[in-house]
Amino acid sequence: LLAADVAPAATLESDRLRVVFDDAHGAITSFVDKATGRDFIRGEGSGLYELTFWDASRAHVSLRERDAQAKVTVRGPTAVITSTHAERKITVRVECRLAGAALQCGIAVKNASPLALYAVRFPAAKFPVRLGDSAEDDRVLLPRCDGAVLENPEANLRGSSVANYPGGASVQLLAFYDATAGLRVTALDGGGYRKAIGLDRHGAGLGLHMVHYPEVAAGKDFTLPYAVEMAVFHGDWESAAAEYRKWAVKQKWCRKRLDERVAELPEWLRGMPFFYTVAVKGQNAENKPALRYDMIAEQTEAYNKLLHSPACAMVMSWEKQGPWVTPDYFPPVGGDEAFQALMARLRGAGNRSMVFFSGLKWTLKKGESFDATEAFARDGEAAAIVADDGKTLVVGKPGDDTGQYGELCPATRYAQDLLSRLSRRATELGVTAVQMDQLVGGGSPPCFSEKHSHPLGGGNWQAEAVYRLLARMRSEGKERNKDFALSMEEPGEYFIPVLDTYHARDYAEGRWPRDGKGIRGAPLFTFIYHDYLLGYGGDSAGISAGVSAQNVYSAAANLVNGKITAAAVWGAYRPPEQVERGQRELLASALAMAHGPAREFLLYGERMLTPRLDVPEVKIPIWVQSAGKGEDRVFPAVVHSLWRLRDGRLGWVAVNVSGNAVEVTAPLRGGERVRLEAGAALF
């Protein structure tokens, strides 16, 4: 029998949703989409909450609703579950209110024990890993950075896939769906409170992972300061994202759209230049290692002329001690004079520059020779993040790309002042834009220092500290130079107002953060926030001398997802005339669109639901980072996007990523049939 055939007392029901609670423990035993009859919770039912406490020795103590005596009270659209853990002197109150297709839930913990609440998993619901008769069309939307979709979690997920918010989770949304119906879980938090968001798999069960981290203090009560919403929907991930956007645009980070931020965004960035990633240390024309300051200036100018676009040279491997060695950056490799000369040449040719700082990291050891442990102990460790074991957090190994490092706590005055000084020095040397790299999505590890002026562990103090740091760097930079721009690696919704742009990876199919078995890219952040924050097309969208379908796809993905056009050579010697013609022409077409008829849409437009196109599918060889090999992946022959301006005008952008001409029915132009040649872009 379906849950619809029974009528227990503890039931909430609307015209779209029926939710049933276990009278004995309060757990959710049924969650029925009435339009389709699908029950998302079957079998033994699902949990309601899982609490993790610390005892005096910081050992973990776990409590769940099934461990307590519960009382369930239903009044109209609201259910209240009171769970008493008498032996621990802890009482938990959960309130769930049903409205239409959504169940909004809150939780409060009354703690009369000596324990300290460390983490709250809420809701603790687990669902069958297979939604319907077949798992082939099951999908999970993940808020990994720009966004990702996990195909067929039954086949492709083992263990967990979780990211912190703020941080690797750019938004607070999960969705589990197939062609019949879907379930979304959302934290309606406008305050930047620390949480973990993602998936975990246990046998035949799939958990939509939502863990909240309070400030840790013994004997302290806790009330989750926002609601968590579980709702049914129909459609794919875009339908779930559209519902999330309705809430998101009312939050403080969306107080201004991009077209209302014109005065604060530098003109050169609004001009959507070509972002060109090139390293100081690399190969010269004779294929020998060299410092390439003159070459960077010459080739940036050459790309400017060939692509008919100003460029922003993203200058890599410039750091004094080597790539990603921080914070001892200055003087840059080769000295101040050579570095300043490059910056002056770039500006003189109408171009701009960007450098990356490695976030709040402090390199301790890298390679066989670099060792800054004494300097860290002397100058940085007092301001460093302390892990939950009470010891200074140390991450990585000397042989890693970023070496072994500690990380500064953003709430300390030392960290704030240090990054301010570094940013000032970069602009004094002529740099136009600074990126806070390796501060992915604005996240950093939790700090448990008892000597810093912040609570232990979770809460929202860390997000507020990062926000203050970014706001300070940006404000001070613009006071020095109206052209200054601040960027961050990967998006984070909470930090939209204090960024000019962000490093996007819509092109990174098969690579981090879209790596892993069954993971495909989805422009989630773009779909929700494109008209509030402008992204650029990353530091690793490849260009090559030979034909590359993957490079064509990368450029197309950046274009149709509204990213400033970008390409990367890093340490390779690749002047523009050596770039394969098809890739070069697509980059030129993308920039022509961004500077011409599509400019307003690509700069200020709201991303709309993607229409279905009557085009064939094609296989493109993609290098898959996690597998260490290439694989053929299926894409529509034409990738595309639909945009709307605030005056109601619509724009359609499309690129043929196949090797053959394709005819397609345009979603605009009255259903006109249009022909796209191989590699061609259309607006």
pLDDT at 8: 52
pLDDT at 42: 77
Q: Are 531 and 605 in contact (CB under 8 A)?
A: yes
Q: What is the pLDDT of residues 39-76, one digit of tens each?
A: 999 766 678 999 999 999 999 999 999 999 999 999 99
Distance from CA of residue 41 to its chain's centroid?
Answer: 29
Distance from CA of residue 4 to its chain's centroid?
Answer: 38
Neighbours of 207 (CB within 10 A): 24
Q: Is the dihedral of CA 369, 314, 503, 150 positive or negative?
A: negative
Q: Is the dihedral of CA 93, 210, 21, 231 positive or negative?
A: positive
Which two structure tokens, joined as six digits, stand for 277? 């990633």
Q: Are 153 and 74 in contact (CB under 8 A)?
A: no
Helix (H) or strand (E) holding 422: helix 413-428
pTM of the model: 0.96
pLDDT at 444: 95
- List, in sequence order, every residue forming a beta bridge with 433; answer none if it has no partner: 354, 485
pLDDT at 24: 85
Residues in the chain, pLDDT under 50: 1-7
Beta strands 535-536 and 502-503, pairing class: parallel
pLDDT at 25: 84
| ω into 123 cis (within 30 of 0) | yes
Q: DSSP letter string over 485-540?
A: EEEEBS--GGGGGG-S-EE--TT-TTSTTS-STTEEE--HHHHHHTTT--EE--S-
- CA distances (Å), origin 193, targets 212, 213, 457: 8, 8, 11
**CA–CA dist 90, 111 (Å, integer):** 5
Residue found by looking up tokens 């040397």 in the block: 429
Listed as own residue / partner, the contacts of 396-402 with beta carbons closer than 8 Å and 24 or more positions apart are 398/365, 398/366, 398/367, 398/368, 398/370, 399/367, 401/323, 401/324, 402/324, 402/358, 402/361, 402/363, 402/366, 402/438
**CA–CA dist 52, 130 (Å, integer):** 29
**CA–CA dist 297, 338 (Å, integer):** 11
pLDDT at 145: 98
